[in-house]
C-alpha cells in the first residue's frame, strides 16, 4: 500500500485517470487472484482423488474448476461480505492492493508446490492494508472469529475423517 501510494503520489493525473488506473489494476489483480485460486484450491481438493488414481488430472481439474464456479455463484456472499467489509474499510485502491497481495502470495507458494489457504492469504492481505492505516481500523472481533475458524477447521476435518473411517471401516 505504501509503495503504490508513493508511486501514485508522484504521478500527475486527474481523478478520472486515477479511477481508470485502479479499475484496470483491479481487473488484472482479480485475474491473477482467480488464477492463483484455481491453481491452488482445485489441486487441494482434487489432488486426493488424482493421487488415489480415481480420476485423471484433466478430470480433476475440470471437476474442481466447475465446482469452484458453482460455489462462487451460490454460497460465497457471506464470506465475501466478511472479507470485503467486516475486517476493515476498503476503498478501490486498498481493495486492489489486498487482492494483488493475496494473488502474488498464493502464486509464489503454488509455484513451489506448497498448498496454502487462499482464505488466510486474503484475510492477511486485507488486515495488512488496514494495519498500514492503524490498529484502530481493524475489527479485532472479526479477526478473532476468523482465527478460531482457522484453528478449528483442520481439527474438525481430522475428526470427521476419523469418525467416517471408524464407521465405514475402509
Would you say 79 and 8 are in contact if contact means Cβ atoms under 8 Å apart? Answer: no
Q: What is the pLDDT of residues 20-51, one digit of tens each?
A: 888 888 888 888 888 888 888 888 888 888 99
Domain of 74 in residue numbering reads as 2-138
* Residues lower than pLDDT 70 in the chain: 1-2, 4-5, 7-8, 10-15
Please check whether residue 18 lies inside any domain of the structure. yes
Number of domains in the chain: 1
Please check whether residue 111 lies inside any domain of the structure. yes
C-alpha to C-alpha distance for 115 and 48, rounded to whole angstroms: 12
Please check whether residue 42 lies inside any domain of the structure. yes
Of all helices (H) and strands (E), which one includes residue 55? none
Amino acid at each position: 500500500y505504501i509503495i503504490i501510494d508513493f508511486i501514485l503520489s508522484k504521478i500527475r493525473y486527474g481523478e478520472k485517470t486515477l479511477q481508470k488506473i485502479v479499475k484496470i489494476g483491479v481487473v488484472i489483480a482479480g485475474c491473477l487472484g482467480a488464477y492463483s485460486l484455481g491453481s491452488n484450491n482445485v489441486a487441494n481438493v482434487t489432488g486426493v482423488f488424482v493421487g488415489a488414481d480415481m480420476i485423471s488430472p484433466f478430470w480433476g481439474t475440470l471437476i474442481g474448476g466447475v465446482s469452484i464456479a458453482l460455489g462462487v455463484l451460490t454460497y460465497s456472499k457471506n464470506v465475501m461480505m466478511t472479507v470485503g467489509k467486516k475486517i476493515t474499510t476498503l476503498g478501490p485502491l486498498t481493495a486492489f492492493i489486498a487482492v494483488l497481495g493475496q494473488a502474488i502470495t498464493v502464486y509464489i507458494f503454488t509455484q513451489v508446490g506448497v498448498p496454502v489457504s487462499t482464505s488466510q492469504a486474503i484475510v492477511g492481505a486485507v488486515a495488512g492494508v488496514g494495519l498500514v492505516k492503524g490498529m484502530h481500523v481493524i475489527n479485532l472481533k472479526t479477526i478473532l472469529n476468523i482465527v478460531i475458524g482457522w484453528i478449528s477447521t483442520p481439527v474438525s476435518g481430522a475428526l470427521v475423517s476419523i469418525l467416517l473411517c471408524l464407521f465405514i471401516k475402509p
